[in-house]
A = this chain, B = another copy of it.
Amino acid sequence: MADFLELAGRRQSCRNFASKPVEHDKIVKCVEAARLAPSGCNSQPWSLVVVENPDKVKEVAESTQLMGLNAHNSKAQAFFVVVEEPAVLMKKIGQLVDSQIFAQGDLGGFALSLCLEAESLGLGTCIIGLYDRPRLRELLGIAEDRKIFIVISVGYPESDKIREKIRKPADSFVRYV
Residues of chain A at the chain B interface (Cβ within 8 Å)? 1-9, 11-13, 28-29, 31-33, 35-38, 40, 42, 44, 46-53, 56, 67, 85, 92-93, 96-97, 101-102, 104-109, 111-113, 115-117, 119-121, 127, 129-130, 140, 149-150, 165-168, 170, 173-177
Expressed in whole angstroms, the minimum distance between the Cβ of A56 and any Cβ of chain B is 6
A9 (CB) vs chain B CBs: closest residue: B36
Copies in the complex: 2
Contact of B102 with A129 in the complex, beta carbons under 8 Å: yes
Q: Which of B47, B107, B129, B175 contacts A174 (CB 8 A)?
A: B47
Extra 6 A-B pairs, beta carbons < 8 Å, given A8-B116, A35-B168, A50-B176: A2-B2, A13-B38, A48-B173, A97-B130, A105-B105, A105-B111
